[in-house]
Structure 1
Amino acid sequence: MIRSGAVASFLILCTAPAFAQTEEERPLSAIDWLSESVEQPEVLVISPRGATQPNRVPDADEAPVTEDATSPDVDVRPLGGPAPRAIGLLGSATTGLPDALWENSEPEVLANLLLAQDIDTLPALQELIATLALARANPPRLAPEAQTFLQARIDKLLDLGALEAAQALLEAAGPDSPEMFRRWFDVSLLTGTENAACRALSDTPHIAPTPAAQIFCLARRGDWPAAALTLNTGLALGDIDTATGDLLTRFLDPDLFDAEDALVQPDPMTPLTFRMFEAIGEPLPTQGLHRAFAHADLRPNVGWKAQLEAAERLARAGAIAPNTLVGLYTKRQPAASGGVWERTRAVAALDGALTANRDPADAVATLWEEATDVGVIVPLAQYYGPRVLAADPAPDVDVFRLLLLSEKYEDAALVEGFAALDPFLAGVARGDPADARATRAGYALVQSAFAAEPLPDMLDIARDGRSGEAILRTLATLQQGIDGDEQAFRAGFATLRALGLEDYARRIALQYLLLT
């Protein structure tokens, strides 16, 4: 069985401590909030010694020169050298996915399929998408050195808001091209590690910073005169537009503009602009911006309420580890009421009950009521589920539901007292609800999905060495089913199980029944 929980385990390792802070076409466009922070430098073509034609940069669409119209015979052989690397953070021993996951697929097809996945979906599906993006598997054979699919994997992590995972994958790959570097640069800006990115800009001549990025990095290194000179030169040459120039001017000397009106917030907002607004004393709210910006509100210099709201937003996408969310909830005692403070109290009540070895049923009921509607009950169940089950609680409906959303779902379903509360849910958790009565909405659909036949073309694709492609296509079908197409639900669910993703399938079914 292909393992789940790999992404959560990785996030726990790479996140700060909880108490701190058409497939044949080109891939879908990159995320629109990335900074244009680097550019490909213009390189002159050097003429041979004694040539009379001046040096120039050939036009991108210029045809090569030839003496006649005869096509030359070209002998193509693979060059010797090391095999292309399998780039990823989670090996097959962790994920259960095969090393040949992507080998026989076309990278452009994989990129389109991955980028098209809906991430506003059930948590188990979010986790599987992230696991596929992080899996260390052999690259597609058709273009092993191409970065098309690797870039799509990174962009999907960025879309989820999983910045630490994206940053680690970028560093494992080596951000040595302009497109990869600008992603690393932006992630560094939002995670507070921009000094390393700025150093790399000065050490990597084939990656040219835009004037704004160059000025920002010069200032970060304390070279204010060079930063000012670069700004004035850029303005004089028209390389820096007026709005950017105004922001950079204030960035270099904010004290000169104390009495001036606040600058207009640009659209789209980029990480570089966001950080400069913060530096001039005009920090911008992250609400309304892409969820990736919420990481800036996890820093210890940000207020506790803003930290909590940012953590909840990221936890809904599975972009931070559950222990980070719980660590913020339990950081201190709330001094207000309503909203996030009630969830803070509910978490504290459950934590207190478990610590004091009291029956957690009442605390779980409150937590379910407060956390489910805002989409954070699953990460809380992942964190507290093992502790709750270890406490050997009396059978209770809310406790059973919480356990079914945790990694201990099957263990809970094997407890006779819990299983008696809802035999159908217990059957789903054990992988066979065929003999249980489908008494509630959705139960009959899930029961028929367990008995459905998988899509034969997806199984053929998997047998052709394109198992990753088959999984991505199946996820799209299953999402269509979650959105209301019952036939797609049955087909996608049955195929997911046939592809070896039994654990994910069961958790998807349980979340579908309990959360939709």
Structure 2
Amino acid sequence: MVTWAPVPVWADDPLSAIDWLSSSVASPAGSAIGTPARPAEAPVTTGGALPQDVAVSVLDAPSPDAIGLLSPATTGLPRDLWGMGLEEEVRAAIAKDRNDLLPALQALTMTLMLAEAVPPADSSGIGALLLARIDRLLAMGALDQAAALLDAAPAGDPELFRRAFDVALLTGNEERGCERMQATPNLAPTFPARIFCVARSGDWNAAALTLRTAQALGYVTEEEDSLLSRFLDPDLYEGDALPPIPARMTPLSWRMFEAIGEPQSTATLPLAFAHAELRDTAGWKSQIESAERLARAGVIAPNVLLGLYTERLPAASGGVWDRVDAFQRFETALRAGDPGAVAQSLPTAWTQMAGAELEVPFATLFAEDLSRLPLTGQAGRIAFDLGLLSPRYETLAKARKAETPRDSFLIGLATGSLAGAIPPDTLGRAIAPAFLRPGAAPEFASLMEQRRMGEAILLAIEKIGRGVQGDLSGVTDGLAFLRHIGLEDTARQTALELMLLERRG
């Protein structure tokens, strides 16, 4: 029998930036990761020898904030990524909401979050920046990436465990999460979490006893009590009204609703929840729709979509089924190597994928194979655009002979040289200066003087994102800066996506 000593939920815990996290463990209010590595007494001063704005840091222990999965050699970014930036400002820059980013900018954001880097100069050493990076990945729906970063972090910390436990719940690895909870003495699980884990271990009697203890001590809310009671004995409540749906659904609540036979749609929940419906327990339609959300965000491999789209024949029409049908007809024609059938099926498939904003995953899957076929007309133009949206954009662009001024401009972007190319529209006129005169606008230069490259990159991402909504000067400045610091591939991909994807508000 699994036992834990009762521990109350801390009512004054600060909310995470990710407000859907389960209250799986109790931790002292105000903690970040572990106990701050600071001396108990104030440091002795020397008559104000240091100016007030000079930051100091603890040097006697490695900081969790330095943890990353991608080395500077892999990312091309300096190890001193945050430079002289202040921890709180870096955290605020990371936490800033940047929704609906272009795929290339989404990938760059993920790279920043996973990069190994020296902590900011005033780092507290308690992992606050690591937590901010993990939370950004969770907000992006990048659960696999967040899980890998959590695995590299120190074990046994409550705030890290909360995130790891929820990732486990959403990816179907709850047994691992429960085992970690049991094996880590300094974790203080809340009653809902321990009841769930005890029940998952097969000891339903102990789980029921734990719930009765929680009820007697007032350690579960009415809402939690209603859901937990049905989770432990659904037959007892057969025919009764469902427990109230929480205003803030957590992964733990979601899994318990699923366990009582009332799974809740993840379509309106934060993106991370979509992973829960990739499992075989979900219906095919739910799996496809969830995979589309995650592929659109660039956090799962396009092959996941390919596998789901081609799993079986659609049994209905309309909506997602029309997309599946169009995808299957095109994929069958391409596998057969039949140019005529491909030319006939590609326009419909492209329209369907573009309507779901899945052009980049579609291009990643098929652009190279399409480049080998003698396609002309509408199919040829689509194949050209797909090539420019694929990882092999430069190679495929060099193999293409420009037929229109638009072609010339796009090929110039793909090869990094716009000499003689004429921008075809207003957006093109905003992009062109970044490729003709790359440099750093004053606000970027100010950050770079303090070696705050990470914050400067986040600012560039933000400015380009605002440019998609109409602030075209941000497009020029952001792209120029990315090229200025050597992120040429990202700048080219972003420029091509700006021109080819309908993401203008």
TM-score category (smaller protein):
0.7 to 0.9
Q: Which residue pairs with 2:77 in the alignment?
A: 97
- 1:156 and 2:136 are equivalent in the alignment: yes
- 1:323 and 2:303 are equivalent in the alignment: yes
Q: 1:85/1:153 Cα in 2 relative to 1: closer, same or farther (>3 Å)?
A: closer
**TM-score, normalization by structure 2:** 0.85
Q: 1:509/1:28 Cα in 2 relative to 1: closer, same or farther (>3 Å)?
A: farther
SS in 2 for 1:442: helix
In structure 2, C-alpha distance between the alignment counterparts of 1:480 and 1:425, rounded to whole Å:
22
How far residue 243 of structure 1 moved from its aligned partner, in angstroms, is 1.6
1:128 to 108, 114, 131: 108
Equivalent AA in structure 2 for residue 447 of structure 1: A
In structure 2, C-alpha distance between the alignment counterparts of 1:103 and 1:439, rounded to whole Å:
40
1:503 to 476, 489, 504: 489
Q: Which residue pairs with 1:436 in the alignment?
A: 421
SS in 1 for 2:316: coil
Equivalent AA in structure 2 for residue 30 of structure 1: A
1:485 to 471, 482, 487: 471
- 1:363 and 2:349 are equivalent in the alignment: no
Equivalent AA in structure 1 for residue 397 of structure 2: A
- 1:32 and 2:19 are equivalent in the alignment: yes
| Contact preservation (8 Å) 1:84, 1:144 | no
- Give the 5 Å matches for 1:54-133: 73=44, 80=60, 86-133=66-113
Q: Deviations over 1:247-266 (max 9, x none)?
A: 11111111111121222211
Range that drifts further, 418-427 or 428-437: 418-427
Q: Which residue pairs with 2:9 in the alignment?
A: none
Q: Deviations over 1:7-26 (max 9, x none)?
A: xxxxxxxxxxxxxxxxxxxx
Q: Which residue pairs with 1:470 in the alignment?
A: 456
Q: Deviations over 1:349-399 (max 9, x none)?
A: 332232222223333322221111211111111121222234565582111
Q: 1:309/1:83 Cα in 2 relative to 1: closer, same or farther (>3 Å)?
A: closer
Q: Which residue pairs with 2:5 in the alignment?
A: none
In structure 2, C-alpha distance between the alignment counterparts of 1:442 and 1:74, rounded to whole Å:
56
Q: Deviations over 1:153-204 (max 9, x none)?
A: 1111111111111111111113432111111111111011111111111222
Moved over 6 A (4+): 74-79
How far residue 103 of structure 1 moved from its aligned partner, in angstroms, is 4.6
Equivalent AA in structure 1 for residue 235 of structure 2: D
- 1:333 and 2:313 are equivalent in the alignment: yes
Q: Deviations over 1:110-137 (max 9, x none)?
A: 1111111413121111111111111223
In structure 1, C-alpha distance between the alignment counterparts of 2:306 and 2:155, rounded to whole Å:
33
How far residue 77 of structure 1 moved from its aligned partner, in angstroms, is 10
| Contact preservation (8 Å) 2:64, 2:153 | no
Equivalent AA in structure 1 for residue 393 of structure 2: Y
Structure having greater relative contact order (Cα 8 Å, sep ≥ 6): 1
Q: How many residues align?
A: 464
2:394 to 377, 391, 410: 410
SS in 2 for 1:417: coil
Q: 1:491/1:345 Cα in 2 relative to 1: closer, same or farther (>3 Å)?
A: same
In structure 1, C-alpha distance between the alignment counterparts of 2:171 and 2:149, rounded to whole Å:
15
How far residue 418 of structure 1 moved from its aligned partner, in angstroms, is 5.2
Range that drifts further, 438-447 or 260-269: 438-447
Range that drifts further, 279-288 or 77-86: 77-86
| Contact preservation (8 Å) 2:57, 2:121 | no
Q: Which residue pairs with 2:371 in the alignment?
A: 389
SS in 2 for 1:118: coil
Equivalent AA in structure 2 for residue 218 of structure 1: V
Equivalent AA in structure 1 for residue 424 of structure 2: T
How far residue 225 of structure 1 moved from its aligned partner, in angstroms, is 2.3
| Contact preservation (8 Å) 1:89, 1:169 | yes
In structure 2, C-alpha distance between the alignment counterparts of 1:151 and 1:262, rounded to whole Å:
35
Range that drifts further, 452-461 or 472-481: 452-461
In structure 1, C-alpha distance between the alignment counterparts of 2:43 and 2:354, rounded to whole Å:
67
SS in 2 for 1:372: helix
- Give the 5 Å matches for 1:92-491: 92-143=72-123, 145-359=125-339, 360-391=342-373, 393=375, 396-417=380-401, 422-452=407-437, 453-462=439-448, 464-491=450-477
**TM-score, normalization by structure 1:** 0.84
Q: Deviations over 1:443-483 (max 9, x none)?
A: 22222332354214424533543221221122222222222
| Contact preservation (8 Å) 2:66, 2:116 | yes
| Contact preservation (8 Å) 2:64, 2:154 | no
In structure 2, C-alpha distance between the alignment counterparts of 1:399 and 1:337, rounded to whole Å:
26
| Contact preservation (8 Å) 1:126, 1:317 | yes
Equivalent AA in structure 1 for residue 367 of structure 2: G
Q: Deviations over 1:231-254 (max 9, x none)?
A: 111111111111211111111111
Equivalent AA in structure 2 for residue 479 of structure 1: G
SS in 2 for 1:294: helix
Equivalent AA in structure 1 for residue 477 of structure 2: A
Equivalent AA in structure 2 for residue 428 of structure 1: L
How far residue 41 of structure 1 moved from its aligned partner, in angstroms, is 6.6
In structure 2, C-alpha distance between the alignment counterparts of 1:89 and 1:419, rounded to whole Å:
44
Range that drifts further, 28-37 or 261-270: 28-37
SS in 2 for 1:136: coil
Q: 1:485/1:147 Cα in 2 relative to 1: closer, same or farther (>3 Å)?
A: same
Q: Which residue pairs with 2:6 in the alignment?
A: none
In structure 2, C-alpha distance between the alignment counterparts of 1:161 and 1:73, rounded to whole Å:
46
How far residue 28 of structure 1 moved from its aligned partner, in angstroms, is 9.6
Percent identity, aligned pairs only, is 46
| Contact preservation (8 Å) 2:64, 2:126 | no
Q: Which residue pairs with 1:55 in the alignment?
A: none
| Contact preservation (8 Å) 1:117, 1:476 | no
In structure 1, C-alpha distance between the alignment counterparts of 2:186 and 2:63, rounded to whole Å:
24
In structure 2, C-alpha distance between the alignment counterparts of 1:72 and 1:428, rounded to whole Å:
55
In structure 1, C-alpha distance between the alignment counterparts of 2:93 and 2:372, rounded to whole Å:
41
| Contact preservation (8 Å) 1:41, 1:207 | no
Equivalent AA in structure 2 for residue 432 of structure 1: S
In structure 1, C-alpha distance between the alignment counterparts of 2:486 and 2:93, rounded to whole Å:
20
| Contact preservation (8 Å) 1:361, 1:399 | no
Equivalent AA in structure 2 for residue 334 of structure 1: P
C-alpha RMSD of matched pairs (Å): 2.6
Q: 1:470/1:335 Cα in 2 relative to 1: closer, same or farther (>3 Å)?
A: same
| Contact preservation (8 Å) 1:459, 1:499 | no
How far residue 106 of structure 1 moved from its aligned partner, in angstroms, is 2.3
Range that drifts further, 343-352 or 122-131: 343-352
Q: 1:206/1:300 Cα in 2 relative to 1: closer, same or farther (>3 Å)?
A: same
Equivalent AA in structure 2 for residue 440 of structure 1: D
Q: Which residue pairs with 2:498 in the alignment?
A: 512
Q: 1:243/1:407 Cα in 2 relative to 1: closer, same or farther (>3 Å)?
A: same
